[in-house]
A and B are shown apart, each in its own frame.
Chain A
Amino acid sequence: MSYSIEVNGLTVHYKNFKALDQLNFKLSPGKIHGILGRNGAGKTTLLTYLASFHKAKHGTIVIDGEDPFENERILQGTSFIYEKDNTYDYDKIDKIIKGMLYFRPYFDEAYARELVKRFKIPTNKSADQLSKGQYSALQVAIGLASRTPLTIFDEAYLGMDAPARELFYKEILLEQERHPRTILFSTHLVSEMEYLFDEVLIIDNGKVLLQETSEQLLEKGFSITGAKEDVEAFTKTLEVIYEEMLGGTKSVMVYGTLPKQEQREAVELDLEIGSLSINNLFIHLTKEEERT
């Protein structure tokens, strides 16, 4: 089971600051969506509105066909996993896991325990005794095992070491195969996580900068490497988002598609055409926005 999301004209003000500005987008159900943006772009604000932490005053949010605010069904089916402070969480890990059974109808206790074991979280300790990384791993384990139709991970991996993050990513993909749901990921570790995303939504200065499937996005950029003069001549009419030089060799990143004819011309000029990563595109697109 998974929820679809539709946002229309969502605007959020914090006093004189416009955190979100007329956001319009749809997120398809059963997919992993990467919600990307630079610091202060409005990602967490958006996610808290999707989780109905706040009531939308300007604009509308529709989740699985209904207004999610104070909607028992939608709230029960929505998990929001984020970096939490465990200082005052005195419950034992075992009690926390058992407790979830009362709140999340699809919670799989056995799977949660398996994840806790694999993340090497000591179950005889209370939550406040866990390290930051262990506590994040516990949140992630609960988020995965809750199997809520809408699961939001907002920088949930903070403090987790590389092997734990790797395990998390692997489990996300496995779980999505076993129990597809709508997963929203807000992250700054784009290069590490981009292979997980089915669709990408980039937010910049509170506005939707871009929304594409990962495939579409990857088709929107390419790199050209070769002799400096040839590269410059070839890319004169293209939208170059980044360039670097090494001796007489120049490498540029281009935003846009390259038609077959031009691809052939590039090969004739002995230019190397490469693909860009979502991370490359994200960095340079948001930089470009900053400049303008």
Chain B
Amino acid sequence: MKQFHLGWAFFIEQIKWASWFYSIIIVLTIGTTIANHWGFLDNLDISNNTSTIFMLIIGLLYSYGFLDYYYKLGISRKKFFKAALFASVLLSIILALAMITMIVLFETLVPALGFAVPWTDPLIGGGVLSFIQSIADYSVAHFFYLLLGWFMGLGFYRFRWKIGLLFILISFPFFGISALLQDKADIAHTIKFFTVNPQIISIGPYLIFFIMIAILIVCNYRLTKDAPIRL
């Protein structure tokens, strides 16, 4: 199987799972909106947590599910890694687009039907730039969490549960830094200790994210390239 076809097949498989996930999210959001309208729930502060957790779980399955499956069909570890990286980047972007489209549609349709949008910080108020930035933010966060899940899954797959637990411990700083970076006001305040340059303040969090992503890609490649395949 050619590299591109493998990556595409891998992506399509995950998109099928993602479509189930998004269907459930849509139903839940509609339910929340109705519950909110009838006063059962307070305003819902929507975040990208649900989709990042979905990506984390997908990442956890990369070794136990996909590496194992594809290797036993004659695909080398290196070829799998390249396909997985391609599929995960594409999945992160497509899911970010889907998430943002869903939010925008919701924010447009729900008020027209006489309901209140169940979150406080509407996206459509921010204009096109805010829309593009949200897609970029979601894509980076999705990709990061998928890589982190992949990293932890590899720890368990390669070294079994004892050392696997260590990989969870190693992941904690990554989770912590990511949570900090996603709180824009907080991180801007922290960066101001070092510089007042507005460009650095706005680019800084992305830069740190990309460094962490690069570290995770290198680690995942190193762990995959000679991973023992389990029976």
**Residue in chain A with minimal CB distance to B5:** A102
Please tell me if A234 contacts chain B, counting CB pairs below 8 Å: no
Please tell me if B37 contacts chain A, counting CB pairs below 8 Å: no
Using A54-B228, A104-B74 as known contacts, list a sample of 15 further A-B pairs with CB atoms less than 8 Å apart, ordered by residue number in A. A44-B231, A54-B229, A55-B226, A69-B226, A70-B77, A70-B78, A71-B76, A72-B79, A75-B71, A75-B75, A75-B76, A79-B74, A103-B1, A103-B73, A103-B74
- Flag B73-107 by CB within 8 Å of A: 1 or 0 each: 11111110000000000000000000000000000
Asked if B75 and A103 sit within 8 Å, CB to CB, the answer is yes
Whole-angstrom CA separation of A72 from B1 in the bound complex: 10
**Residue in chain B with minimal CB distance to A51:** B229
Asked if B228 and A53 sit within 8 Å, CB to CB, the answer is yes
B64 to chain A, nearest CB (A): 10
Whole-angstrom CA separation of A69 from B72 in the bound complex: 13
Please tell me if A78 contacts chain B, counting CB pairs below 8 Å: yes
Partner of B9, one of A48, A71, A80, A102: A102
Most buried by B among A44, A76, A104: A76
**Residue in chain A with minimal CB distance to B9:** A102
Asked if A72 and B76 sit within 8 Å, CB to CB, the answer is yes
- Flag A67-105 by CB within 8 Å of B: 1 or 0 each: 001111001111110100000000000000000101110
User: Footprint of A on B, CB under 8 Å?
Assistant: 1, 5, 9, 71-79, 225-226, 228-231
A232 to chain B, nearest CB (A): 48
- Flag A40-68 by CB within 8 Å of B: 1 or 0 each: 00001000100001110000000000000
* Contact partners of B226 in chain A: CB under 8 A: 55, 69-70
**Residue in chain A with minimal CB distance to B72:** A80
Whole-angstrom CA separation of A78 from B229 in the bound complex: 14
**Residue in chain A with minimal CB distance to B6:** A102
Most buried by B among A53, A79, A80, A100: A53
Whole-angstrom CA separation of A171 from B78 in the bound complex: 35
User: Footprint of B on A, CB under 8 Å?
Assistant: 44, 48, 53-55, 69-72, 75-80, 82, 100, 102-104, 148
Asked if B1 and A78 sit within 8 Å, CB to CB, the answer is no
Whole-angstrom CA separation of A152 from B16 in the bound complex: 33
Chain B binding surface, main DSSP class:
loop
A261 to chain B, nearest CB (A): 51
* Contact partners of A53 in chain B: CB under 8 A: 71, 228-231
**Interchain residue pairs with CB less than 8 A apart (28):** A53-B71, A53-B228, A53-B229, A53-B230, A53-B231, A54-B229, A55-B226, A55-B228, A69-B226, A70-B76, A70-B77, A70-B78, A70-B225, A70-B226, A72-B79, A75-B71, A75-B74, A75-B75, A77-B74, A80-B72, A82-B231, A100-B73, A102-B1, A102-B5, A103-B1, A103-B74, A104-B73, A104-B74
* Contact partners of A82 in chain B: CB under 8 A: 231
Whole-angstrom CA separation of A76 from B228 in the bound complex: 17
* Contact partners of A102 in chain B: CB under 8 A: 1, 5, 9
B162 to chain A, nearest CB (A): 13
* Contact partners of B231 in chain A: CB under 8 A: 44, 48, 53, 82
Whole-angstrom CA separation of A94 from B77 in the bound complex: 27
Whole-angstrom CA separation of A110 from B93 in the bound complex: 39
Whole-angstrom CA separation of A77 from B73 in the bound complex: 10
B78 to chain A, nearest CB (A): 6
* Contact partners of B79 in chain A: CB under 8 A: 72
* Contact partners of B78 in chain A: CB under 8 A: 70
* Contact partners of B229 in chain A: CB under 8 A: 48, 53-54
The 7 closest A-B pairs by CB, nearest first: A53-B229, A103-B73, A76-B74, A54-B228, A75-B74, A70-B76, A102-B1
Most buried by A among B5, B72, B225, B226: B72
* Contact partners of B9 in chain A: CB under 8 A: 102
**Residue in chain B with minimal CB distance to A103:** B73
* Contact partners of A54 in chain B: CB under 8 A: 228-229
Most buried by A among B5, B71, B78, B225: B71
